[in-house]
Amino acid sequence: MIKNKADYIEYLNRDRIALEVNNDSLSSKIKNLFFPNPVWRFQRLMRKLEYYTNCKNKGLYKIYILYLKYKYRSISIKLNFSIPINIFGPGLSIVHYGTIIINYTTKIGANCRMHACVNIGASGGEIQGPILGDNVYIAPGAKIFGNIRIPNNTAIGANSVVNKSFEKEHTIIAGIPAKELGSIDIKKLIRHG
């Protein structure tokens, strides 16, 4: 969670690197001006809202936070995201815009790479959503629900239904219901998946 300005800057930098957004050269700056990445705009706004909500939530900043919430809601609707703030650690990469729904009690660690049509939430009248570790890859269409835990360095297969906790790291889990299918070098998958 962003707790100060240094955290805010670190989260932005790690998200930019994870999304492979280049803003170093003049040509990339021109490209970003005319063809902005909508997911990068969303993630920058999400991190800004997290920073102001967590660190500056008093006085006149409350009015600015309301404005940021309005903008965040607008871009969320355009991209078809339902993602509360303070869910993700740094290094988030949402690969495509499209339906993504996440419960407000969910916690996801650093370096998460997520595709479209993902649904993460509570189940059976429980309030607590899933807790996912660091370096988790979530393929398109995955459904993850319940008061469960997913360990660090895990890949979740396309269209999988994950409704129980797993303990072993460096694994692929997939299927309906999901089960462990094998081991994986998650860093390669997150970088190039």
> In total, how many domains does the chain have?
2
Domain membership of residue 175 as a residue range = 99-193
Both structure tokens of 181 = 């299918």
In a domain, 91, yes or no: no
8-17, 25-34, 86-95, 103-112: least confident range? 25-34
Q: Give the model's confidence band at 186: pLDDT under 50 very low, under 70 low, under 90 confident, else very high.
A: confident
pLDDT tens by residue, 120-150: 999 888 899 999 999 999 999 999 999 999 9
Q: How confident is the model at residue 185 (pLDDT cuts 50, 70, 90)?
A: confident
Q: Are 120 and 130 in contact (CB under 8 A)?
A: yes
Q: What is the largest CA-CA distance in the chain?
A: 53
Contacts of 140 (CB under 8 A, 6+ apart): 115, 116, 117, 118, 158, 159
Q: Kindly report the CATH number assigned to the domain that includes residue 153.
A: 2.160.10.10
Q: What is the mean pLDDT of residues 167-189?
A: 89
User: Residue 92 falls within a domain, yes or no?
Assistant: no
Whether residues 107 and 141 share a domain: the answer is yes
Indicate if 103 and 76 belong to the same structural domain. Answer: no
> pLDDT at residue 193 above 60?
no
